[in-house]
């Protein structure tokens, strides 16, 4: 008896979005074997009597194309078996034909699989960026599954997506971020052979058209000194930590909050702060001023049992990349809220955040006449990688001399 080949909507498995997976079903000698096609469909959009997508089904033509491709491949194998009178079972037919993977990955599945893999690998930052991109695309698609191939993301799709983002009041920087993230995911799909590189819409659609320069967020030296010189020794722990983080960042080359959070005693070598940036992985060598050393000393007791220089992370509690990221995000938010209160108390009109310390470091040195190559105007404005390249090209003595202009 010849085998029967069919594609079914597998009602026995319901996903969180209410959809069912489409399965290849091979039946021979009353034995069945099934294989997922990597696409799903809502039961309202599937004709269970005819075993095919309904006319109203989104991406009906694409689903029909996949079904036709799969069935044709296995029907061809059946004809070969019949012509040569070969014996086979449902399992062996599936195994023999399955040597060539069927590229039927949807945007939805590829996004979710990539996000899951990045989380398991500990690349939490990228995972969050792609999760945000996925959520925004779902919203753009009226909260429906992205059950279509990457080839449908063409220049027209991107223009419609851009118009939709603008209609929601998004700024140029946000739109640039969304398009760059989608472009990165499309490149991943090309690399995974899910879509042909000739289909890449970003060849003609230029993400660089977005105006991504933001207003400078730097304090003048006098306002910066107000924060440095303020006495919060009798205030709450939140006020003390917020001030310490801001001042330490300013005095230590504009070190970012995430890098401050990850500092341990091993990052202090011969009176210098030596670390690799979390974002660019570039090596930083910064002299530690007396005031920076005194800030570290305040949390020496905490460091003895928590393992970190600042009371942000705790090696006993924050062990996974996800735990660390969530904790850093939570504390950074609280620090920034407190910094705004500090600025208000000191009569500083500009909203102050940890990132403002980074801008202020660069701007104060620039206005003091320090070599632009050392500090680089691009610090925090355009290319942080370029800034790191500039810093790496100078001797420690030159950087040390420049740092004297901060106070």
Residue 299: its pLDDT value, please?
95
Do 361 and 249 contact (CB within 8 A), yes or no?
A: yes
Counting every residue written for the chain, the total comes to 407
Residue 388: its pLDDT value, please?
43
Q: What is the dihedral of CA 65, 71, 72, 77, to 10 degrees?
A: 160
Alpha helices in 206-320 (DSSP H): 221-229, 237-251, 257-261, 290-298, 300-306
Residue 368: its pLDDT value, please?
60
Residue 345: its pLDDT value, please?
93
- Number of neighbours of residue 302 by Cβ within 10 angstroms: 15
Successive 10-residue mean pLDDT values, the chain, 407 residues:
85 87 88 86 90 87 85 83 74 67 72 91 87 94 85 92 94 92 94 85 91 69 90 93 94 89 94 83 82 94 94 93 90 95 92 85 67 46 41 45 55
Q: Report the candidate in 74, 110, 72, 79 with the shortest Cα–Cα distance to residue 92.
A: 74
Residue 243: its pLDDT value, please?
95
Residue 100: its pLDDT value, please?
45
- Number of neighbours of residue 342 by Cβ within 10 angstroms: 19
Number of H helices, E strands in the chain: 16, 8
Residue 400: its pLDDT value, please?
55
Do 351 and 342 contact (CB within 8 A), yes or no?
A: no
402-406 contact pairs (CB < 8 A, 24+): 402/365, 402/370, 402/371, 402/374, 402/375, 403/251, 403/253, 403/286, 403/287, 403/289, 405/364, 405/365, 405/368, 405/369, 405/370, 406/250, 406/251, 406/289, 406/361, 406/364, 406/365
CA distance 262 to 378: 24
Residue 359: its pLDDT value, please?
76
Residue 221: its pLDDT value, please?
82
- Number of neighbours of residue 125 by Cβ within 10 angstroms: 14
Output the CA angle 384-119-113, nearest 5 degrees: 110
Residue 380: its pLDDT value, please?
31
């Amino acid at each position: 008896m010849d085998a029967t080949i069919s594609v079914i909507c597998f009602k026995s498995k319901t996903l969180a979005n209410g959809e069912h997976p489409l399965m290849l079903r091979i039946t021979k000698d009353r034995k069945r074997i099934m294989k997922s096609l990597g696409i799903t469909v809502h039961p309202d959009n599937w004709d269970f009597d005819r075993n095919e997508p309904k006319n109203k089904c989104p991406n009906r033509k694409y689903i029909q194309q996949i079904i036709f491709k799969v069935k044709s491949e296995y029907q061809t194998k059946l004809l070969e078996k019949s012509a040569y009178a070969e014996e086979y079972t449902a399992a062996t037919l599936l195994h023999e034909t399955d040597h060539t993977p069927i590229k039927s990955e949807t945007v939805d599945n590829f996004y979710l699989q990539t996000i899951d893999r990045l989380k398991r690998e500990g690349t939490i930052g990228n995972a969050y960026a792609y999760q945000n991109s996925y959520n925004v695309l779902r919203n753009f698609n009226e909260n429906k599954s992205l059950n279509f191939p990457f080839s449908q993301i063409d220049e027209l799709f991107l223009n419609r997506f851009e118009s939709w983002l603008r209609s929601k009041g998004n700024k140029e920087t946000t739109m640039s971020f969304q398009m760059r993230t989608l472009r990165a995911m499309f490149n991943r799909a090309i690399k995974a052979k899910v879509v042909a590189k000739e289909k890449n819409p970003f060849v003609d659609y230029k993400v660089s058209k977005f105006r991504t320069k933001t207003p400078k967020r730097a304090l003048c030296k006098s306002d910066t000194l107000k924060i440095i010189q303020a006495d919060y020794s009798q205030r709450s722990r939140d006020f003390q930590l917020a001030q310490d983080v801001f001042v330490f960042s300013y005095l230590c080359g504009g070190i970012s909050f995430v890098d401050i959070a990850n500092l341990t005693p091993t990052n202090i070598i011969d009176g210098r702060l030596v670390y690799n940036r979390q974002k660019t992985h570039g090596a930083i060598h910064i002299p530690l001023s007396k005031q920076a050393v005194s800030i570290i000393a305040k949390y020496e007791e905490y460091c003895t049992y928590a393992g970190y220089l600042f009371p942000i992370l705790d090696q006993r509690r924050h062990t996974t990349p996800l735990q660390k990221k969530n904790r850093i995000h939570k504390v950074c938010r609280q620090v920034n809220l407190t910094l705004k209160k500090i600025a208000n108390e000191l009569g500083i009109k500009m909203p102050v955040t940890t990132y403002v310390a980074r801008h202020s470091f660069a701007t104060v040195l620039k206005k003091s006449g320090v070599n632009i190559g050392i500090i680089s105007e691009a610090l925090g404005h355009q290319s942080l990688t370029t800034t790191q390249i500039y810093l790496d090209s100078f001797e420690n003595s030159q950087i040390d001399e420049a740092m004297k202009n901060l106070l």
